[in-house]
Amino acid sequence: MSDILLKIDAVSKRFTRKPGVVAAAIDRVTGKDSTVTVHAVSNVSLEVERGEVLGIVGESGCGKSTLGRIVSGIYAPTEGEVLLNGDIVAKEVHGAVQKQTTRVQMIHQDPFASLNPRMKVGEIIAEGPRIHGLIPAKEVNDRVGALLEKVGLERAYANRLPHQFSGGQRQRVAIARALAMSPELLVLDEAVASLDVSIQAQVLNLFIDLRKDLGLTALFISHDLSVVRHVCDRVAIMYLGRLVELAPASDLYEKPLHPYTSALFDSVPKLGVGKRSFAAIQGEIPSPINPPSGCAFHPRCPFAGPRCKVEIPTIAKAGTGRSVACHIHNGGTGAEASVPVFTEAAA
Residues 57-76 that bind other proteins (CB under 8 A): 59-60, 69, 72-74
Min dist. Cβ of residue 288 to other proteins (A): 13
Min dist. Cβ of residue 141 to other proteins (A): 18
Nearer to other proteins, 11 or 165 (CB): 165
Residues 89-118 interacting with other proteins (rule: CB under 8 A): 95-96, 98-99, 102, 104-106, 108-110, 113-118
1, 278, 340, 346: which one binds other proteins (CB under 8 A): 278
Residue 270 interacts with other proteins (CB under 8 A): yes or no: yes
Min dist. Cβ of residue 136 to other proteins (A): 19
DSSP per-residue string spanning 210-271 = HHHHH--EEEEEES-HHHHHHH-SEEEEEETTEEEEEEEHHHHHH---SHHHHHHHHHS--T
DSSP per-residue string spanning 75-97 = S--SEEEEEETTEE-EEEETTEE
Residue 276 interacts with other proteins (CB under 8 A): yes or no: yes
The torsion defined by the Cα of 213, 173, 146 and 232, in degrees rounded to 10, comes to: 0
Q: List the one residue out of 309, 295, 306 whose CA is nearest residue 259.
A: 295
Residue 275 interacts with other proteins (CB under 8 A): yes or no: yes
Residue 181 interacts with other proteins (CB under 8 A): yes or no: yes
Rounded to whole angstroms, the Cα distance separating 285 from 219 reads 24
Residues in the chain: 347
Residue 208 interacts with other proteins (CB under 8 A): yes or no: yes
CB distance 333 to 305 below 8 Å: yes
Number of chain positions touching other proteins (CB under 8 A)? 92
Residue 135 interacts with other proteins (CB under 8 A): yes or no: no
Min dist. Cβ of residue 152 to other proteins (A): 4
